[in-house]
């Protein structure tokens, strides 16, 4: 249905995010070409995923990359005179590089070392190299990898540790880099006419983007192109801290559930080889591209487990139809598609005349790839179904729903304790405990202590720092009730106005499962009856009616099928107007910068009916459900698209793991399946 | 009326080619010193001359020139105005010359070179190691670099003027210095690399960075080697006075001329310079001879010694009382003013003159050139650019304007531009400015080059006006002006003490800011100007100026060098640029004592909190000792404890791990609110000790150390240490429920089903028996699971039996409970007909 939606005869093209990919690709090629001759590429393992969305091995080879290695501790033996390190400016990587250089020097081997830092050079790195005494031997340069398009409407920095960096370590590098990326976006599409934000760090981000402006303007005084954008109507920035509930819940859309249960990394999911490529059809998937797998020990172990990375590609039309559905309807949809395909095949067999045959041959390739993708997604959902049938999974959903409804909280806490006793996954337990703390405004001190103690004894005392981080003022999502008096800022942070938000933002939709059908009658469908606060806040800006009542419902009453013609024109952006009181309740600063006012006379009058894009920016990451919900919102009105810009894709698991510092890669998670 | 343009023309080649000697400036004799006593270097593009006394020549004291003993370099403009005078304290000067941006490069015999601007400020660089030992014998300086002949007779090239490392050229293998030599600069050489031409014995060696080639000439040795402006021809003068012209690839010999035939020339020729690309000017004292391509000559006589500077479009000759430009008459001028010329442009000019005399001939004539009128207009415009006198410029432009009136479509851009350009050129040619720039030179060097030349002379007003007139950005001028302003406006002495200085600072700062604002110099970097102020010791002013800088990345480095540590850190934090914050932190960490450093950050409070957190991120990975001190000095118990724990997690040695955990416990216990954490760490330490004991008991065969409480109990059960497991349960107050799950899982894992049976009966299960069934089913132990079903809640039994695949039991259960509906469902779900039939029997028996 979404494909039909996209083919509306709308002459306004969506923002072309592919330019970003091309920019990234060109920057990489340029950076590689600064080093002459054959080179060995040593890659930061965390960059491999993002890079695979930008380039492929063939391109690297074409630009002189002879061999590739992961950047890891230990010796490095080289066959080329040039080595290019591609990594983020992390201290541990610098140490590894310095170690390589020193080892080679000891063996009196001479190489040309080039370090390409992502996204920019760093004083810290050169200082550390100086301390290690190898600064003179290396050339430091940068590769400005910024926003990577994941799909047409989602671009991401693919920063894995953004959430932890900001809210646990207080390292604001991500915010600065993110601001630079947004500025790049402005250079491409024009200045954001209005910037709205919620949350202290969102405010900081907007401030950085805003203060950059005067300089750009003065440089190109005569350049009229750098004025306000006529394609983008506003930028809405939400920092993750504003809505911590959403990532703590279990995502119930197809893509969200894959992420929760199997894990999606940089748009790739690891699946059993048998599922992806049965021998005869192998050629088809390779075009959609398994990612770059540098020849290293890691990829070898992957092969042993016979798992393969599969790109959940936006060009897979079946997947784009499925990804945002509530999982309970995925089976039905797959069934429909299977029937249709079957009929198409049958039709093709009945072709008799030459023109018919030509028609069939033309369609055949499409049918085959569709068939292939149908097989994969059927297999994938078959993998998911048993995981959603487990006692624990259902128990945790029940606890979530009850907590959201504030139903018998003490019973839910007991249920959480039971889950610990059963040895449920640490992340699951912590997610539920945090959810309980936020929704109930803290957990009774004694009960909380008991839960913490159970957690420490069950999973290990080394999780104490994790628990401390969760209750630290910057996060404050696992707090005792009443909050400790010694920290006044904690007490303030604890006052998340859950109950009043639930009412005023219409978060909990009490509907019977019957109406929760394919109409997807509210964004709450992504959590089977719970609307993500973050998206409600976006609606406060971009679809004010949608906060108060369901736009789809009214459309349906008029016409059973909710025809396209009746869609309401999206209202212009007028800031938070009408919801100021609600926003004031939520901790964190509220920002509204109107560039129309700031740049006198630069007001662009938009012709009515023209489609504009609202850029929604998640600082600290967003979930697949939030993306799905936003897509749903954009379908309800005509005249407004959303472009989602995020530091990365997160879920509760990745957030908790990130804070605890336990490196759980997708591989190890899969090993347990 | 100034004399007619043709008055300065002289014919050559039987009247086909004309050369003109345009007097640019005349000045009283004696304004310039006698050039014969000096070594001179002239700057192209109408630039100044640099003079240094030639120590090899005897000089009579008491002559009109000032006597001095020290090395001194004087710089005069082309109009004879003194621009700069400085003395040289270092080792003997070998060579000096001009850069493209009109700075004077002075190289001494030790290989040190300085680059002076016209204000006498300089940067010093060195040629480095090799020349420091062997010294420099000679050098050639071109606009963008130099080539030095080292004492070892090898050649070194320096590219650019940023103090780059000299590169060795191919070694020509000389045994003595060449009798003369020259270079072809990279920008006019075909290979785009520099080429050195050495006159050795009777031949010429060409040397570049790859090889040295003997060109096998036989007329040498040569006293002068001079490449043409386009780098394609080479003029060579032998000791006997024969002038040879060859192509630079030495394949063609173009001309030969015997200078001995010049009647008035006496002694050795002084200079061999090119005039354009096809004529050569050879100079002797008070005479210059222009030799054309067919060995025709023109003689020019002067008063006293002369110095010639090759320009792109001619040659500039400076004598005692005049500065001339000798050049081939440009074609556009020639076509208009050549006697008897009937070119359209000449006719147009003629028509215009007739018209201004109100002669009726005008109309008729203009009709005759109608088809070529556009070209004629262009010709007049171009010719205007070639004239020195504004009178003739104006006349030619008027002619062009007149002709334009007869054209339907004509793009006026060229006309307007020429008008503007001439206005600018006339302004800078004025003798007080003294830049005799021709139109061709101006087009080549660009307007902004001219503006920067003016600013370098501190002629800010003119530079600014020209910038505005040509709509160029005024930033460069403003920046230079501000720097000069700061230098000049030394704090006044009229006020008293500090107040006066502050007042002056405010005044200067306000003046600069005001000027920038009104002139729109928004791109000017205040930081650069502030740096200048700081360099001359005006810290207060520097700080004030820095406040206006909007780019933190520019502010911070200067603030750091000004020791404004706190301010620098604040600005860095405000910028949000973490790299900048690191830059400051690392700098401060290096330059301050640890205590001061910490205090600076801690006292910063919330404002500097991001810096404090970044420091922690950095120190956690790179400098843990510092982090420990930092936490300790700030009484951060929790952070100290977490740090201790983090270290414990990385330790493998049991004893040190335990002591790290204990120290964490101690830190927690010092914080009133952290009782729980302290207790937990106490437990942790106890557990670790216990695990050590357990390992000892098991003779190290089982590893316990570092496991969680649950896992420890589990491993105990797995290894049959049930007593131990029970003790752990009581010691660590493990809840019944959790203990039962652990034991259930562990016993299943080792398949001790009897043990499990006994355990399940040891007391009433706190977790019920459903988990038993479910877990056993999950582990595919269906048979073992069945007995527990009967002990579960009755309503769940049917389902649980089904899970154990005990359909009959499930049916029986239904029967017992009289639940027909459920039984029917069972029949539907039955895996095979046999089961279904059995179930149907049960169903029928219920009736």
Residue B251 or A302, more confident: B251
Residue B800 or B512, more confident: B800
> Tell me, what's the pLDDT at A276?
77
Residue B684 has pLDDT above 60, yes or no: yes
Residue of B nearest to A126 (CA): B583
> Tell me, what's the pLDDT at B843?
82
Taking the CB of residue A115, how many other CB atoms lie within 10 A of it?
25
Q: What is the mean pLDDT of residues B72-99?
A: 88
Domain extent, residue A639, equals 147-223+516-662
Taking CB atoms and an 8 Å cutoff, what residues of chain A touch B582? 122-124, 127
Same domain as A81, residue A42 = yes
Question: Given an 8 Å threshold on Cβ–Cβ distance, is B582 in contact with A454?
Answer: no
Question: Given an 8 Å threshold on Cβ–Cβ distance, is B613 in contact with A486?
Answer: no
Q: Per-residue DSSP letters for B303-370?
A: SS--EEEEETTEEEEE-SSEEEEEEEPPHHHHHHHSTT---HHHHHHHHHHHHHTT-THHHHHHHHTG
Taking CB atoms and an 8 Å cutoff, what residues of chain A touch B616? 169-170
Question: The CATH number of the domain where A520 resides is what?
Answer: 3.40.50.1910
Q: What is the mean pLDDT of residues A203-210?
A: 90
Question: Given an 8 Å threshold on Cβ–Cβ distance, is B621 in contact with A91?
Answer: yes
Same domain as A657, residue A609 = yes
B734 near A CB under 8 A: yes
Question: The CATH number of the domain where A444 resides is what?
Answer: 1.25.40.850
Provide the pLDDT confidence category of residue A514 given band limits of 50, 70 and 90: low
Cβ pairs A/B, distance under 8 A: 121
Taking the CB of residue A63, how many other CB atoms lie within 10 A of it?
17
What is the helix (H) or strand (E) element at residue A87, kind and residue range?
Answer: strand A82-87
Question: Given an 8 Å threshold on Cβ–Cβ distance, is A170 in contact with B577?
Answer: no
Taking CB atoms and an 8 Å cutoff, what residues of chain B touch A170? 609-610, 613-614, 616-617
Question: Given an 8 Å threshold on Cβ–Cβ distance, is A215 in contact with B732?
Answer: no
Min Cα separation A185/chain B (Å):
19
Residue B623 has pLDDT above 60, yes or no: yes
> Tell me, what's the pLDDT at B511?
80
pLDDT in tens, B763-820: 888 999 999 998 999 888 888 899 899 888 888 888 888 888 888 888 888 888 887 8
Task: Return the percentage of chain B with pLDDT > 90, whole number.
Answer: 29
Nearest alpha carbon to residue A549 among A516, A506, A515, A513: A506
Same domain as A168, residue A119 = no
Residue B637 or B830, more confident: B637
Q: Per-residue DSSP letters for A586-627?
A: SSS-EEEEEHHHHSTT-PPPPPTT--EEEEEEEET-B-HHHH
Report the range of poorest mean pLDDT among A157-171, A489-503, B1-15, B771-785: A489-503
Report the range of poorest mean pLDDT among A131-140, B204-213, B521-530: B521-530
Residue A5 has pLDDT above 80, yes or no: no
> Tell me, what's the pLDDT at A271?
87
Residue A624 has pLDDT above 90, yes or no: yes
Task: Return the percentage of chain A with pLDDT > 70, whole number.
Answer: 82
In the block, residue with structure tokens 């349906």: A556
Residue A556 has pLDDT above 60, yes or no: no
Residue A209 has pLDDT above 80, yes or no: yes
pLDDT in tens, B628-645: 999 988 888 999 999 999
Residue A115 has pLDDT above 90, yes or no: yes
Question: Given an 8 Å threshold on Cβ–Cβ distance, is B622 in contact with A219?
Answer: no
Q: Does residue A121 lie in a domain region?
A: yes
Provide the pLDDT confidence category of residue A353 given band limits of 50, 70 and 90: confident
> Tell me, what's the pLDDT at A282?
37
Question: Given an 8 Å threshold on Cβ–Cβ distance, is A461 in contact with B680?
Answer: yes
Taking CB atoms and an 8 Å cutoff, what residues of chain A touch B550? 214-215
pLDDT in tens, B172-228: 888 888 989 999 998 888 877 889 999 988 889 999 877 888 888 888 789 999 999
Same domain as A139, residue A39 = yes
B682 near A CB under 8 A: no
Taking CB atoms and an 8 Å cutoff, what residues of chain B touch A452? 676, 680
> Tell me, what's the pLDDT at B326?
93
Same domain as A559, residue A434 = no
Q: What is the mean pLDDT of residues B658-674?
A: 92
Residue B499 or B664, more confident: B664
Mutation target to probe the A interface, by most A beta carbons within 10 A, among B165, B713, B738 is B738
Question: The CATH number of the domain where A93 resides is what?
Answer: 3.40.50.2060
Same domain as A83, residue A151 = no
Residue B739 has pLDDT above 70, yes or no: yes
> Tell me, what's the pLDDT at B502?
60
Same domain as A102, residue A198 = no
> Tell me, what's the pLDDT at A608?
59
Enumerate residues 771 to 830 of chain B having a beta carbon within 8 A of any beta carbon in chain A. 771, 774
Taking CB atoms and an 8 Å cutoff, what residues of chain A touch B774? 391
- Show which of A94, A124, A145 is a domain's final residue: A145
* Segment of A10-24, A195-209, B514-528 carrying the highest mean pLDDT: A195-209
- The CA distance from A229 to A232, in Å, is 6
Average model confidence (pLDDT) across chain A: 81
Mutation target to probe the A interface, by most A beta carbons within 10 A, among B709, B725, B740, B799 is B709
Provide the pLDDT confidence category of residue A509 given band limits of 50, 70 and 90: confident
Burial class (CB in 10 A: 0-12, 13-18, 19+), A184: middle
Question: Given an 8 Å threshold on Cβ–Cβ distance, is B609 in contact with A170?
Answer: yes
Nearest alpha carbon to residue B688 among B722, B664, B671, B669: B664
pLDDT in tens, A461-487: 999 999 999 988 888 888 888 777 666
Partner residue facing A468 (CB), from B580, B616, B642: B642
Residue A314 has pLDDT above 80, yes or no: yes
Question: Given an 8 Å threshold on Cβ–Cβ distance, is A123 in contact with B582?
Answer: yes
Min Cα separation B349/chain A (Å):
40
B675 near A CB under 8 A: no
Q: Does residue A256 lie in a domain region?
A: no
Q: What is the mean pLDDT of residues B513-518?
A: 78
Q: What is the mean pLDDT of residues B637-662?
A: 90
Residue A112 has pLDDT above 80, yes or no: yes
B73 near A CB under 8 A: no
Question: Given an 8 Å threshold on Cβ–Cβ distance, is A461 in contact with B687?
Answer: yes
pLDDT in tens, A47-75: 888 888 888 888 888 888 888 899 988 88
Q: Which residues of A628-666 are buried (b: 16+ CB within 10 A; e: fewer)?
A: bbbbbbbbbbbbbbbbbbbbbbbbbbbbbbbbbbbeeeb
- The CA distance from B6 to A11, in Å, is 69
pLDDT in tens, B282-337: 998 888 999 888 888 888 988 888 899 999 889 999 988 889 999 999 989 999 99
Q: Does residue A570 lie in a domain region?
A: yes
> Tell me, what's the pLDDT at A300?
39
- The CA distance from A637 to A569, in Å, is 6
- The CA distance from A87 to A105, in Å, is 22
Mutation target to probe the B interface, by most B beta carbons within 10 A, among A214, A457, A462 is A457
Total domain count, chain A: 3
- The CA distance from B391 to A454, in Å, is 101
Question: Given an 8 Å threshold on Cβ–Cβ distance, is B735 in contact with A468?
Answer: no
- Show which of A466, A498, A530 is a domain's final residue: A498
> Tell me, what's the pLDDT at A218?
42
pLDDT in tens, A79-105: 888 899 999 988 889 999 999 999 998
Provide the pLDDT confidence category of residue A665 given band limits of 50, 70 and 90: very low
Q: What is the mean pLDDT of residues A559-574?
A: 62
B672 near A CB under 8 A: yes
Enumerate residues 635 to 654 of chain B having a beta carbon within 8 A of any beta carbon in chain A. 638, 642, 645-646, 649
Same domain as A473, residue A542 = no
Average model confidence (pLDDT) across chain B: 86
Residue A589 has pLDDT above 60, yes or no: yes
> Tell me, what's the pLDDT at A559?
42
Task: Return the percentage of chain A with pLDDT > 90, whole number.
Answer: 32
Taking the CB of residue B223, how many other CB atoms lie within 10 A of it?
18
Same domain as A551, residue A475 = no
Crossing angle of helices B475-488 and B497-519, in 10° steps, is 170
Handedness of CA B632, B633, B637, B641 (dihedral sign): negative
Min Cα separation A306/chain B (Å):
24
Taking CB atoms and an 8 Å cutoff, what residues of chain A touch B742? 423
Question: Given an 8 Å threshold on Cβ–Cβ distance, is A484 in contact with B673?
Answer: yes
Enumerate residues 741 to 770 of chain B having a beta carbon within 8 A of any beta carbon in chain A. 741-742, 745, 767
Question: Given an 8 Å threshold on Cβ–Cβ distance, is B774 in contact with A127?
Answer: no
Taking CB atoms and an 8 Å cutoff, what residues of chain B touch A128? 622
Residue A303 has pLDDT above 50, yes or no: no
B622 near A CB under 8 A: yes
pLDDT in tens, A411-431: 999 999 999 999 999 999 999
Partner residue facing B578 (CB), from A176, A215, A468: A176
Residue A517 has pLDDT above 80, yes or no: no
pLDDT in tens, A364-417: 778 888 888 898 999 999 999 989 988 899 999 999 999 999 989 999 999 999
Same domain as A83, residue A192 = no
Same domain as A575, residue A658 = yes
Find out whether B318 and B79 touch, Cβ atoms under 8 Å: no
Partner residue facing A208 (CB), from B576, B681, B710: B576
Same domain as A478, residue A557 = no
Partner residue facing B676 (CB), from A123, A127, A449: A449
Q: What is the mean pLDDT of residues B716-740?
A: 92
Find out whether A59 and A102 touch, Cβ atoms under 8 Å: no
> Tell me, what's the pLDDT at B503?
64
Q: Does residue A10 lie in a domain region?
A: no
Residue B701 has pLDDT above 50, yes or no: yes
């Amino acid at each position: 249905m979404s494909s039909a939606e996209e083919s509306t005869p709308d002459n306004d093209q969506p923002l072309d995010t592919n330019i970003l990919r091309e920019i990234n690709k060109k920057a990489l090629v340029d950076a590689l070409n600064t080093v002459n001759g054959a080179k060995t590429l040593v890659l930061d393992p965390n960059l491999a995923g993002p890079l695979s969305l930008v380039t492929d091995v063939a391109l690297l080879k074409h630009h002189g990359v002879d061999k590739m290695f992961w950047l890891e501790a230990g010796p490095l033996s080289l066959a080329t005179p040039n080595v290019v390190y591609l990594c983020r400016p992390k201290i541990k990587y610098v140490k590894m590089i310095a170690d390589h250089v020193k080892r080679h020097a000891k063996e009196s081997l001479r190489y040309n070392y080039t370090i390409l830092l992502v996204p920019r050079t760093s004083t810290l790195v050169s200082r550390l190299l100086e301390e290690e005494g190898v600064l003179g031997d290396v050339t430091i340069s940068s590769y400005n990898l910024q926003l990577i398009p994941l799909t047409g409407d989602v671009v991401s920095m693919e920063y894995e540790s953004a959430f932890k960096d900001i809210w646990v370590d207080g390292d604001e590098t991500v915010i600065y880099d993110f601001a630079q990326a947004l500025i790049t976006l402005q250079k491409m599409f024009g200045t954001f006419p209005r910037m709205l934000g919620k949350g202290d760090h969102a405010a900081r981000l907007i401030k950085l983007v805003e203060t950059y402006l005067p300089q750009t303007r003065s440089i190109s005084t005569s350049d009229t192109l750098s004025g306000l954008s006529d394609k983008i109507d506003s930028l809405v920035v939400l920092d993750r801290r504003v809505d911590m509930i959403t990532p703590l819940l279990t995502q119930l859309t197809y893509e969200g559930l894959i992420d929760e249960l199997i894990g999606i990394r940089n748009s790739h999911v690891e699946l059993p080889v048998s599922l992806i490529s049965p021998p005869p059809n192998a050629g088809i998937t390779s075009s959609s591209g398994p990612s770059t797998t540098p020849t290293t020990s890691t990829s070898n172990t992957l092969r042993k487990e016979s798992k393969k990375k599969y790109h959940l590609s936006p060009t897979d039309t079946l997947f784009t139809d499925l990804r945002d559905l509530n999982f309970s309807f995925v089976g039905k949809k797959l069934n429909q598609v299977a029937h249709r395909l079957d009929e198409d095949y049958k039709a093709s067999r009945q072709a008799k005349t030459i023109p018919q045959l030509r028609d069939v041959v033309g369609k055949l390739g499409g049918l085959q790839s569709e068939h292939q993708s149908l097989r994969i997604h059927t297999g994938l959902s078959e993998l998911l179904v048993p995981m959603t049938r487990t006692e624990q999974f259902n128990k945790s959903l029940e606890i979530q729903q009850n907590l959201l409804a504030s139903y018998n909280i003490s019973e839910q806490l007991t249920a959480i304790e039971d889950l610990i006793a059963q040895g449920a996954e640490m992340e699951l337990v912590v997610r539920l405990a945090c959810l309980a703390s936020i929704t109930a405004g803290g957990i009774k001190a004694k009960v909380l202590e008991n839960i913490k103690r159970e957690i420490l004894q069950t999973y290990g005392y080394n999780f104490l720092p994790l628990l401390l981080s969760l209750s630290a003022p910057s996060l404050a999502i696992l707090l005792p009730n009443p909050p400790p008096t010694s920290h006044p800022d904690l007490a303030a942070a604890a006052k998340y106005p859950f109950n009043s938000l639930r009412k005023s933002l219409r978060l909990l939709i009490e509907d019977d499962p019957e109406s929760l059908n394919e109409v997807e009658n509210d964004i709450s469908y992504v959590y089977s009856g719970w609307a993500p606060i973050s998206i409600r806040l976006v609606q406060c800006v971009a679809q004010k009616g949608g906060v108060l009542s369901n736009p789809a419902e009214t459309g349906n009453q008029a016409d059973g099928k909710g025809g396209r013609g009746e869609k309401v024109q999206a209202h212009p952006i007028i800031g938070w107007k009408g919801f100021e009181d609600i926003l004031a309740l939520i901790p964190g600063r509220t920002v509204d910068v109107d560039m129309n006012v700031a740049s006198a006379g630069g007001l662009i009058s938009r012709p009515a009916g023209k489609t504009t894009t609202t850029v929604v920016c998640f600082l600290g990451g967003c979930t697949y459900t939030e993306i799905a919900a936003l897509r749903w919102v954009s379908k309800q009105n005509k005249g407004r698209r959303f472009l989602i810009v995020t530091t990365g894709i997160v879920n509760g698991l990745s957030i908790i793991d990130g804070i605890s510092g336990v490196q759980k890669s997708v591989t190890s998670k899969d090993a347990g399946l | 009326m100034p004399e007619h343009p043709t008055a300065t023309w002289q014919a050559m080649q039987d009247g086909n080619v004309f050369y003109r000697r345009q007097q640019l400036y005349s000045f009283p004799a004696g304004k310039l010193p006698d050039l014969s006593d000096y070594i001179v270097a002239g700057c192209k593009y109408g630039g100044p001359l640099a003079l240094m006394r030639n120590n090899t020549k005897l000089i009579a004291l008491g002559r009109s020139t000032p006597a001095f003993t020290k090395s001194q370099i004087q710089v005069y403009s082309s109009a004879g105005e003194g621009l700069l005078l400085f003395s040289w304290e270092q080792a003997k000067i070998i060579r000096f010359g001009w850069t493209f941006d009109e700075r004077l490069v002075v190289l001494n015999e030790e290989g040190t070179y300085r680059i002076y601007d016209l204000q006498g400020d300089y940067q010093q660089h060195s040629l480095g190691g090799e020349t420091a030992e062997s010294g420099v014998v000679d050098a050639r300086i071109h606009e963008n670099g130099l080539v030095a002949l080292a004492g070892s007779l090898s050649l070194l090239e320096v590219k650019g003027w940023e103090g780059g490392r000299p590169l060795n050229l191919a070694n020509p293998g000389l045994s003595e210095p060449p009798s003369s030599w020259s270079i072809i600069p990279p920008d006019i050489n075909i290979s785009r690399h520099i080429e050195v031409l050495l006159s050795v014995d009777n031949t010429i060696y060409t040397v570049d960075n790859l090889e040295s080639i003997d060109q096998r000439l036989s007329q040498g040795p040569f006293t002068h080697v001079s490449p043409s402006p386009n780098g394609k021809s080479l003029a060579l003068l032998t000791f006997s006075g024969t002038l040879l012209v060859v192509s630079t690839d030495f394949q063609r010999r173009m001309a030969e001329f015997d200078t001995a035939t010049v009647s008035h020339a006496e002694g050795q020729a002084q200079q061999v310079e090119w005039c354009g690309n096809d004529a050569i000017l050879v100079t002797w004292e008070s005479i210059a001879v222009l030799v054309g391509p067919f060995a025709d000559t023109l003689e020019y006589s002067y008063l006293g010694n002369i110095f010639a500077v090759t320009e792109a479009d001619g040659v500039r000759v400076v004598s005692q009382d005049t500065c001339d430009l000798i050049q081939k008459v440009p074609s556009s001028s020639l076509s208009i003013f050549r006697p008897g010329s009937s070119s359209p442009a000449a006719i147009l000019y003629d028509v215009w003159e007739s018209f201004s005399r109100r002669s009726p001939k005008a109309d008729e004539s203009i009709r005759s050139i109608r088809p070529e009128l556009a070209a004629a207009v262009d010709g007049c415009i171009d010719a205007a650019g070639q004239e020195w006198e504004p009178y003739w410029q104006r006349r030619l432009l008027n002619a062009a304007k007149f002709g334009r009136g007869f054209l339907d479509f004509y793009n006026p851009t060229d006309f307007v531009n020429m008008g503007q350009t001439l206005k600018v050129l006339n302004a800078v040619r004025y003798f007080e400015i003294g830049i005799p720039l021709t139109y061709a030179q101006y087009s080549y060097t660009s307007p902004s080059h001219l503006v920067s030349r003016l600013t370098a002379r501190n002629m800010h007003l003119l530079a600014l006006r020209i910038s505005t007139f040509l709509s160029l950005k005024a930033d460069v001028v403003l920046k230079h002006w501000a720097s000069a302003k700061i230098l000049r406006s030394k704090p006044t002495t009229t006020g008293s003490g500090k107040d006066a200085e502050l007042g002056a600072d405010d005044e200067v700062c306000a003046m600069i800011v005001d000027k920038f604002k009104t002139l729109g110099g928004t791109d000017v970097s205040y930081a650069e100007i502030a740096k200048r102020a700081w360099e001359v010791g005006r810290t207060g002013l520097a700080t004030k100026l820095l406040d206006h800088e909007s780019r933190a990345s520019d502010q911070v480095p200067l603030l750091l060098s000004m020791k404004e540590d706190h301010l620098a850190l604040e600005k860095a934090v405000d910028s949000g640029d973490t790299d900048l914050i690191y830059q400051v932190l690392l700098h401060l960490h290096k330059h301050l004592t640890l205590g001061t450093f910490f205090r600076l950050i801690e006292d910063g409070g919330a404002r500097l909190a991001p810096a404090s957190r970044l420091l922690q991120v950095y120190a956690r990975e790179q400098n843990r000792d510092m982090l420990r001190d930092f936490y300790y000095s700030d009484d951060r118990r929790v952070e100290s404890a977490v740090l201790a724990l983090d270290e414990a997690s990385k330790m493998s040695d049991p004893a040190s791990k335990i002591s790290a955990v204990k120290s964490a416990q101690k830190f927690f216990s010092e914080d009133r609110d952290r009782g729980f954490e302290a207790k937990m760490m106490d437990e942790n330490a106890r557990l670790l000790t216990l695990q050590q004991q357990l390992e000892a008991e098991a003779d190290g065969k089982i590893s316990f150390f570092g496991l969680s409480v649950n896992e420890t109990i589990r491993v105990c059960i797995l290894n049959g240490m049930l007593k131990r497991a029970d003790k752990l349960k009581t010691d660590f107050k493990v809840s019944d429920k959790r203990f039962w799950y652990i034991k259930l899982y562990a016993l299943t894992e080792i398949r001790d089903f009897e043990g499990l049976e006994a355990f399940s009966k040891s007391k009433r299960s706190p977790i019920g028996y459903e988990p038993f069934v479910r877990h056993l089913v999950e582990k595919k132990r269906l048979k073992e699971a069945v007995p527990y079903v009967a002990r579960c809640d009755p309503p769940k039994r049917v389902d649980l039996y089904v899970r154990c695949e005990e359909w009959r039991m499930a049916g029986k259960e239904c029967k017992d409970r009289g639940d027909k509906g459920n039984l029917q469902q069972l029949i539907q779900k039955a895996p095979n007909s046999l089961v279904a039939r059995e179930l149907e029997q049960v169903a029928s028996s219920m009736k």
